């Protein structure tokens, strides 16, 4: 029996003032047991020596037979805009996103490529990671630990119900993502209200299979210059959310949900009726929460009603969101 050809791969790397970290990352890309089909790099108008370093690193990769597509923005686009521009340059069937300050484990590409070969309906896969500090020392914590990924969330993702998990909160971190390039025509353009990894994951989950691997495949460096680090997305984010006013936060989430619902209802959309209904229900849940009175004790009846509807469990982080509504300021 003839075996299907192995899908081609693109590693998409976006850089900005990253000359300190790039040599270690680049070495880990070139050391992969399954070498990248190409490395696509787009620099976001760095002001240090990043681009000159990339030109040298490009020659090192070419010497090993790995094509490099290197471009530089004329002005700073920001990390979401830069990723969107870089993705347009990728030609591989499976696209791997990459951060400038991480280190890939040698078998990352091989480990993540195998499920795409075995599961034609798999659109997006994200991995766990080992958290390391600025010096690369093990912080004895994984990304999934920092995100406090629950047993229920893991079960939903592994059972083909990633959309239900991602409807509550984003669990897919950009630098850990691999996805089929065919997904790009479904996600463009990236809405500025959404972070690129959130948008990729939720669209993929609506249109096909999304899964995660529990195995850490990246050393995910945590330092002061992280755009969005794991610690920020975990406990730090929860702490900051508790301090911010409720109503603007919930209205912002409502606006993001409406953007996704508009995409779901657009002509030619492949969202299912069940997914559209779930988005409508989430929007209603957020609207009810935003409309709760400023008086904390006065919110209690509405909170109890929302809890009995199951809104906190299905569309938010359960008891955390309940406590936020009970004690947070408007």
Mean pLDDT of the chain: 92
Q: Are residues 21 and 165 located together in one domain of the fold?
A: yes
234 found inside a domain? no
Residues 89 and 217 grouped into a single domain: yes
Is the pTM higher than 0.75? The answer reads: yes
Q: How far apart are CA 309 and CA 302, in angstroms?
A: 11
Q: Using one digit for the tens of pLDDT, what is the confidence trace for 195-251?
A: 999 999 999 999 999 999 999 999 999 977 655 555 544 444 444 455 689 999 999
Domain extent for 291: 244-327
User: What is d(CA 60, CA 166) in angstroms, rounded to the nearest whole number?
Assistant: 39
- How many domains, in total, are found in the chain? 2
Q: State the Cα torsion 27-28-31-34 to the nearest 10°.
A: -140
Average confidence (pLDDT) over 54-63: 96
Report the percentage of the chain scoring pLDDT > 90.
88
- At 271-301, the pLDDT tens digits run 999 999 999 999 999 999 999 999 999 999 9
Burial of 105-140, coded b for 16+ CB within 10 Å and e otherwise, reads beebbebbbeebeeeeebbbbbbbbbbbeeeeeebe
Q: What is the pLDDT of residue 2?
A: 45
pLDDT digits over 123-161, tens only?
999 999 999 999 889 999 999 999 999 999 999 999 999
pLDDT at 235: 46
The pLDDT confidence band at residue 79, using thresholds 50, 70 and 90, is confident
pLDDT of residue 227: 52
State the average pLDDT over residues 109-117. Answer: 97
Same domain, 205 and 303: no
In a domain, 192, yes or no: yes
Taking residues 261-278, report their average pLDDT: 96
Q: Any idea which of 2-11, 180-189, 202-211 has the lowest mean pLDDT?
A: 2-11
Q: How far is CA 254 from CA 83, 126, 248, 250, 270, in A?
A: 25, 26, 10, 6, 22
Domain final position from 200, 228, 256: 228
pLDDT at 188: 85
């Amino acid at each position: 029996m003839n075996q299907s050809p192995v899908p081609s791969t693109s590693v998409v790397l976006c850089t900005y003032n990253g000359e300190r970290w790039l040599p270690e990352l680049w070495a880990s890309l070139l050391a992969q047991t399954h070498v990248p089909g190409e490395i696509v790099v787009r620099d976001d108008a760095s002001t240090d020596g990043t681009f000159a370093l990339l030109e040298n690193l490009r020659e090192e990769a070419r010497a090993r037979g790995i094509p490099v597509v290197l471009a530089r923005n004329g002005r700073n686009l920001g990390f979401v805009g830069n990723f969107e521009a870089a993705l347009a340059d990728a030609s591989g069937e499976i696209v791997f996103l990459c951060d400038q300050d991480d280190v890939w484990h040698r078998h990352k590409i091989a480990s993540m490529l195998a499920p795409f070969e075995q599961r034609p309906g798999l659109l997006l896969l994200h991995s766990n990671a080992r958290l390391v500090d600025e010096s690369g020392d093990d912080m004895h914590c994984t990304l999934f630990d920092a995100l406090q990924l629950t047993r229920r969330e893991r079960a939903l993702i592994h059972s083909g119900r990633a959309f239900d998990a991602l409807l509550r909160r984003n669990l897919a971190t950009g630098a850990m993502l691999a996805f089929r390039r065919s997904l790009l025509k479904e996600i463009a353009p990236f809405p500025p209200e959404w972070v690129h990894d959130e948008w990729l994951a939720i669209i993929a989950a609506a249109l096909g299979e999304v899964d995660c691997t529990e195995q850490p495949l990246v050393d995910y460096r945590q330092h002061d210059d992280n755009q969005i680090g794991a610690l920020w997305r975990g406990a730090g984010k929860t702490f900051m959310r508790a301090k911010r006013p409720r109503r603007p936060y919930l209205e912002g989430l409502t606006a993001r949900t409406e953007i996704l619902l508009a995409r779901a209802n657009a002509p030619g959309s492949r969202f299912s009726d069940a997914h559209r209904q779930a988005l409508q229900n989430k929007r209603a849940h957020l609207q009810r929460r935003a409309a709760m009175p400023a008086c904390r004790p006065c919110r209690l009846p509405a909170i109890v009603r929302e809890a009995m509807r199951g809104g906190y469990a299905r569309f938010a982080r359960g008891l955390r969101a309940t406590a936020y509504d009970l004690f947070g300021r408007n």
